[in-house]
Amino acid sequence: FEKSRSKVVEVAREAKTLGRDDPRRIIHSLKVGLAITLVSMFYYFDTLYQGFGISAMWAVITVVVVFEFSVGATLGKGLNRGIATFLAGFLGVGAHRLASLSTERSEPILLGLSVFVLAAAVTFLRFFPKMKARYDYGLLIFMLTFCLVCVSGYRDDEVLDIAHQRLSTILIGGAAAVLICIFICPVWAGSDLHNLIATNLEHLGNFQEGFGDEYFIKSGDNKSSLQGYKSVLNSKSTEESLANFAKWEPRHGRFKYRHPWDQYLKIGTLTRQCAYRIEALNNYLDSEIQAPLEIRVKIQESCTKMSSESSYALKELALAIRTMIRPSTVNAHIANSKIAAINVKSLLKTGLWQDTDLMDGNTNCHSCFNTYRCCRLH
């Protein structure tokens, strides 16, 4: 008993954390409840129920399956489901008509064959990367509806009625999900992507900012503020799915319909490359092998300057992305950082192994900036 109680307390604490980290999760849950309750009204009111009967079920199913966290994901799934059902219903009725022209014996064989061929073809189509990214759900529903219409047509002569009712209830369910998703506290995948890209650049900037102090002074307190960049290392799949969702979204806020979402992915890739180098740099901090003290004192000033100027540049880029205002002093910071890097190099002239990492970090910073510029010009 004691154990299950502590389990409940633990779950409650996790739920609280989840809700506090992103209150939109709580709102989303309530929105889903609202949409399902609204759609189930079909059952409660006689006038509504007369029209659809048992097909009203499909409206409830559609809401449950289509309602996703972000507007883009919901719209994408809703459109996929609606269009796929329409096309497959059309094709299924056609196949049924064709098969019913033949003899009674060969009809099930023809139907079975067409179901087999279409199911296999569509399943293979789902392996195409481009299809998978945007139309995976649509292909699934296409296959599903075709099989249902085609096969149940063998038993029920009112195929057209079935197809029609199924389509209209799915449209109603989909519309309810999409409208509630868009008009009650919408969560835009595009804005999330926009913020994620900016936050990731900030994480890199924070590392560069703290690196000098950490390396030369060893403040001794925990380096947790420097570890933010680690989340950047594995951000690829999140960014890609957000960009996919964002492409379904209509104009909203500062984002137009054809906002160049792919450019965000390019900035994301460059940010990640920069993060890989920072990961290597971070290993110097923990490494047992360190440069002797006298060298460190010698390069401390230039080195700290180099890293703090990089930090300014990265943070200004992040701010520029966030506010969508062209940055003004980034080039100056990068130039300063380069001068500092050249200083470090000349101080290390007696040495052999150059500070390639930091230089590369700088180059990268530069290429980030270039992409950003392309993005703005687009």
Q: What is the closest distance, in whole angstroms, from the C-beta atom of residue 69 to a copy of itself in the complex?
A: 9
> Which of the residues 153 through 212 are near a copy of itself (CB under 8 A)?
154-155
| Both tokens assigned to 291 | 């440069």
Helix, strand, coil: what percent of the chain each, to 5?
A: 80, 0, 15
Cβ proximity to a copy of itself, 136 vs 319, nearer residue: 136
**Tokens of residue 334, six digits:** 């990068």
CB of 198 to a copy of itself, least distance (A): 21
Interior CA angle at 219 toward 214 and 223, to 5°?
60
- Per CB under 8 A, does 295 bind a copy of itself? yes
Residue pair 92/211 in contact (Cβ under 8 Å)? The answer is: no
Tell which one of 291, 319, 339, 375 touches a copy of itself (CB under 8 A): 291
- For the bound state, the minimum distance from the C-beta of residue 195 to a copy of itself, rounded and expressed in Å, comes to 19
360 binding a copy of itself? (CB under 8 A): yes
Stretch that binds a copy of itself, among 30-38, 76-84, 172-180, 193-201 (CB under 8 A): 30-38
Radius of gyration over alpha carbons of the chain, in Å? 29
Q: Is 359 in the site for a copy of itself (CB under 8 A)?
A: yes
For a copy of itself (CB under 8 A), the number of binding residues is: 74
Give the interface segment with a copy of itself, choosing from 2-10, 42-50, 322-330, 368-376 (CB under 8 A).
Answer: 42-50
Q: Are 303 and 212 in contact (CB under 8 A)?
A: yes
Given candidates 12, 18, 48, 133, which one binds a copy of itself under the rule CB under 8 A? Answer: 18
Which tokens belong to 155? 């038993």
- If you write DSSP's letter for every residue of 191-229 in order, what string do you get? HHHHHHHHHHHHHHHHHHHHHHHHHHT---S--GGGGGG
Residue whose C-alpha is closest to residue 366's, from 319, 325, 332, 321: 332
Please report, as residue ranges, which positions from 318 to 357 form the binding site for a copy of itself (by CB under 8 A).
348, 350-357
Return d(Cα 75, Cα 70) in angstroms, integer: 9
CB of 325 to a copy of itself, least distance (A): 32
Q: Does 124 bind a copy of itself (CB under 8 A)?
A: yes
Nearer to a copy of itself, 320 or 358 (CB): 358
| Of residues 33 and 94, the one with the C-beta less far from a copy of itself | 33
For residues 26 and 325, which CB has a smaller minimum distance to a copy of itself in the complex?
A: 26
* Binding of a copy of itself by 287 (CB under 8 A): yes
Q: Answer yes or no whether residue 119 interacts with a copy of itself by CB under 8 A.
A: yes
Q: Nearest Cα to 35, choosing from 178, 245, 188?
A: 178
Residue 36 interacts with a copy of itself (CB under 8 A): yes or no: yes
Q: Is 347 exposed, middle or buried (0-12, 13-18, 19+ CB in 10 A)?
A: middle
Q: Cβ 144 to a copy of itself, closest distance in Å?
A: 5
Stretch in the footprint of a copy of itself (CB under 8 A) among 112-120, 178-186, 212-220, 310-318 = 112-120
Closest-CA residue to 281 (of 312, 317, 306, 315): 306
Write the binding mask 227 to 256 for a copy of itself: x where contact by CB under 8 A, - elsewhere.
Answer: ------xx-xx-------------------
Range 126-154 burial, b when 16+ CB lie within 10 A, else e: eeeeeeeeebbbbbbbbbbbbbbbbbebe
Nearer to a copy of itself, 96 or 259 (CB): 96
- Minimum Å distance from CB 17 to a copy of itself? 10
Closest CA to 25 of 37, 36, 17: 17
Supply the minimum distance, in Å, between the C-beta of residue 184 and a copy of itself.
13
